[in-house]
A and B are shown apart, each in its own frame.
Chain A
Amino acid sequence: MVNEAPPRWDRRMQQRLARGEAAALGELYDRFASLVHSLAQRVLEDEGAADRITREVFGYIWENPDAYDPKQGSLRSWVATLTHRQAVHRLRQTEAASALDCGADAPEPAEIEQKINAASTAARADYIVTSMPAPLRAALELAYFQRRDYRQTAADLGVTEDEARRRLRLGLQLLATAHNHQAGPPTPGRPGALPPPPPPPTGSGYGRAL
């Protein structure tokens, strides 16, 4: 539905942002705010923190529209990647800070890492679900959330049972790729996981550029 935008829209949006069109910024927000906010929310499980990530991500895009390379993929995927990195980065900071506060009772680093990976994977999975072809999503929705078996799913969707099985399997195969990625080790020397804007606005990287 709202997920699909032709590449032409992406390039046009980039041009409009680059020339400083405030109306384009509004349209960008209207298209991607719920994506950004929900991914950040999934990683951080904190609405205030998700609001902040949303401000940071849109601020970064508005200041650095040229950082997007249409050849590398869609604007949507780029926005999702920026959000994901920034949210995971923020989670890592939060966890490190709370580990410091806890002193001797702090969880093991491996445990923290596990938590970060789980949050990162959950966000990636959400993105995969919202981005997969609608027929696959609809089949998963019926079989998982509505607890329909695959025959009922087939009947509900008006497809063959073969096709229903195929969609369920394919949908899960796509979803399983969320596990293929690690949240990534902390990158020393660069506080923001986002690429620093060229030139870095405060010299301290994206994470503290606000």
Chain B
Amino acid sequence: MNGPEDWDRFGPQGPEEPGRPCPGRGERPRIPAPRRPAEDQGPLPDVRVPRPEPDPPAERDAPEDDTNNANSPDSPDGGAERAATQKDGTTDQDPAGTDRPEPPHAVLKSLLGAWALAACSAEETAAVEAHLTDCATCADEALRLRDAVGLLHPADSLDLDPLLRSRVLEGCLGRRPARIPVPEWAGPYDAETAKLDALLRDMGEAEWRAPVRLRWFENDRAAGRTTTVAGVIGHLMSVDGLVAGALGLTDPLGAEIPEDSPTDPTERTLAYWRTSVHEESPLATREPWREQTHALIRTVAFAGRGVAELAVPYGDFRLPLRDSMLERAFECWVHAGDIADAVDYPYEAPAADHMHGMVDLAARLLPSALAVRRRTGLATPPRRLVEAGTPGRTLHLEVEGSGGGHWYISLDSPGALGTPDHTVAHIALDSVEFCQLAAGHVSPEDAAAGQHGERDAIRDVLFATASLSRL
């Protein structure tokens, strides 16, 4: 059984630049050693001097083109090629002897890879095959390379089941408990960012530039803006930066932080988009976004219990860190869904317990959202004043499906208690539908919700849910 060192020969190494000169004289350990002393000139018995990159001068190609364009291996240019070969010091081993005009051994040998892949011209194929009957060295290599072609295999496009991650991690932690665990409230963010990162993994440059329509609700109307996949990642990173800032990490916006509204999510996103980083090198947005997500998880894991209540500013409101991480997980899922739609790819909803947390957060935010709307005249005024901490008129929010449950929303004021006894209205809808509504992807009028009870109360809550969304 081989040890790791055998594998490591192909391990990560500095990627070879395209057009780099031929590797010379054993400076690249990953290149298989020549099998015959006669080939000691190096793994690539190509006769040419290393070329400057990236575009070699045209005249350097000339001799080769002559050879390639020759109608038969008997081309007189073969002689010129051979002369060049010998001048370069490569031993020409043409076993047929120099008086038989055909492309020299070195040229034929350099064709072996293309030959094995059936990627050379008919003339070249014939010349290589004629040569193989004479040259044991090349015949041996040709066989090896042909066999190697059989090992090429289309890359598996099989996606990993996103749930496998949590199963694997749980299994590990069951075997050896973590000394520094990730707080439970950061779990949804951990899972959703990993899921989005897996979606991004195989995207090519064109997909990173694919247009993505972002949608939300503003002033009770659907609003939207088109960006690209890279623009969405930049948006997520810019707003995640609020959490990073609260934790004392570096703000990803750097010098671009909007001066008058440094913590306004929308302003931050617009500031990021103005840098055009996502347009110039879209793929370059992935790494900083991902690094920040990992840094956030790492940091909250080390920060201890108290950090859960740390206030994270969002422009005109704040959320405790534990809710903020949930909100960021929700945004990550919603925008990953936008990206998946844009590139026509399926995308899964969060795990049931994570989904439950997200619905719960929205439900907890609803009484304040209703109060804001009442102040601006968008929601019906309270029927009566309720003392803080006492039961008031209540809407029963029943969320069905994965992560669902029952919530009792206080309608009169954020200070009042919502209770089953004071229910005046009842809404029932699916958890994904509720989240789509809260994300501003579904309008309150169109939300597929079963309704029963006071119409105004129902309308107020549905609109307040949609008003939780923003860019």
Query: Given that A121-B151, A125-B153, A174-B10 are known contacts, is A62 also in contact with B176, CB under 8 Å in the complex?
Result: yes
A19 on the B face (CB < 8 A)? yes
In Å, the complex CA distance between A201 and B172 comes to: 14
Query: Given that A127-B10, A129-B152, A175-B152 are known contacts, is A23 also in contact with B180, CB under 8 Å in the complex?
Result: yes
In the complex, chain B residues whose CB is within 8 Å of the CB of A167: 113
Question: 27 A–B contact pairs at CB < 8 A?
Answer: A5-B12, A19-B179, A20-B176, A20-B180, A21-B179, A22-B180, A26-B169, A26-B194, A30-B194, A51-B164, A58-B169, A59-B168, A62-B172, A73-B5, A131-B12, A140-B117, A145-B152, A148-B119, A150-B119, A150-B120, A160-B61, A165-B114, A168-B117, A170-B113, A172-B113, A173-B148, A179-B151
Partner of A34 from the list B51, B119, B160 (CB cut-off 8 Å) is B160
In the complex, chain B residues whose CB is within 8 Å of the CB of A138: 18
In the complex, chain B residues whose CB is within 8 Å of the CB of A175: 148, 151-152
- How many residues of chain A are within 8 Å of chain B by beta carbon? 92
A63 & B61 in contact (Cβ 8 Å cutoff):
no
Query: Given that A33-B160, A38-B156, A174-B32 are known contacts, is A169 also in contact with B113, CB under 8 Å in the complex?
Result: yes
B113 & A168 in contact (Cβ 8 Å cutoff):
yes
Query: Given that A5-B12, A144-B149 are known contacts, is A54 also in contact with B119, CB under 8 Å in the complex?
Result: no
B16 & A136 in contact (Cβ 8 Å cutoff):
yes
A55 & B171 in contact (Cβ 8 Å cutoff):
yes
Query: Given that A26-B194, A159-B18 are known contacts, is A149 also in contact with B121, CB under 8 Å in the complex?
Result: yes
In the complex, chain A residues whose CB is within 8 Å of the CB of B149: 144, 172
In Å, the complex CA distance between A130 and B121 comes to: 28
B158 & A158 in contact (Cβ 8 Å cutoff):
no
Least Cβ–Cβ distance between A155 and chain B, in angstroms: 12
The chain A residue with its CB closest to the CB of B12 is A4
A96 on the B face (CB < 8 A)? no
B111 on the A face (CB < 8 A)? yes
Partner of A165 from the list B32, B113, B168 (CB cut-off 8 Å) is B113
Least Cβ–Cβ distance between B20 and chain A, in angstroms: 8
| Interface residue ranges of B1-57 to A (CB < 8 Å) | 1-13, 15-20, 22, 30-32, 43-44, 46, 48, 51, 54-56
The chain A residue with its CB closest to the CB of B182 is A22
A177 on the B face (CB < 8 A)? yes
B301 on the A face (CB < 8 A)? yes
B360 on the A face (CB < 8 A)? no
In the complex, chain B residues whose CB is within 8 Å of the CB of A26: 165, 169, 182, 190, 194, 294, 297
In the complex, chain A residues whose CB is within 8 Å of the CB of B169: 22, 25-26, 29, 58
In the complex, chain B residues whose CB is within 8 Å of the CB of A126: 153
Partner of A62 from the list B12, B22, B175, B301 (CB cut-off 8 Å) is B175
In Å, the complex CA distance between A187 and B1 comes to: 10
In the complex, chain B residues whose CB is within 8 Å of the CB of A130: 155
A143 & B19 in contact (Cβ 8 Å cutoff):
no
B173 on the A face (CB < 8 A)? yes
9 further A-B pairs in the complex, CB-CB below 8 A; given A26-B190, A77-B11 = A4-B13, A23-B190, A38-B158, A122-B151, A165-B46, A170-B43, A173-B113, A177-B9, A178-B148
Partner of B160 from the list A37, A144, A151 (CB cut-off 8 Å) is A37
Among B5, B113, B190, max chain A CB count under 10 A is at B113
A22 & B1 in contact (Cβ 8 Å cutoff):
no
Which of A78-86, A100-108, A109-117 is found at the contact surface with chain B? Answer: A78-86
Q: Is the interface of A mostly helix, strand, loop or mixed?
A: helix
A95 on the B face (CB < 8 A)? no
A51 & B116 in contact (Cβ 8 Å cutoff):
no
Least Cβ–Cβ distance between A141 and chain B, in angstroms: 9
In the complex, chain B residues whose CB is within 8 Å of the CB of A166: 22, 44, 46, 110, 113
Least Cβ–Cβ distance between B177 and chain A, in angstroms: 8
In Å, the complex CA distance between A148 and B64 comes to: 19
In Å, the complex CA distance between A181 and B149 comes to: 17
B178 on the A face (CB < 8 A)? yes
Partner of A169 from the list B8, B19, B114, B198 (CB cut-off 8 Å) is B114
Partner of A162 from the list B12, B15, B64 (CB cut-off 8 Å) is B64
Query: Given that A2-B201, A4-B15, A140-B152 are known contacts, is A23 also in contact with B182, CB under 8 Å in the complex?
Result: yes
Query: Given that A149-B114, A178-B148 are known contacts, is A3 also in contact with B12, CB under 8 Å in the complex?
Result: yes
- B52-85 vs A, CB cutoff 8 Å, 1 = contact: the mask equals 0011100011001100100000000000000000
A41 on the B face (CB < 8 A)? yes
A76 & B12 in contact (Cβ 8 Å cutoff):
yes
The chain B residue with its CB closest to the CB of A72 is B4
A55 & B168 in contact (Cβ 8 Å cutoff):
yes
B5 & A23 in contact (Cβ 8 Å cutoff):
no
B95 on the A face (CB < 8 A)? no
In the complex, chain A residues whose CB is within 8 Å of the CB of B16: 133-136
In Å, the complex CA distance between A201 and B156 comes to: 34
Partner of A23 from the list B19, B111, B151, B298 (CB cut-off 8 Å) is B298
Partner of A55 from the list B12, B167, B177, B201 (CB cut-off 8 Å) is B167
A47 on the B face (CB < 8 A)? yes
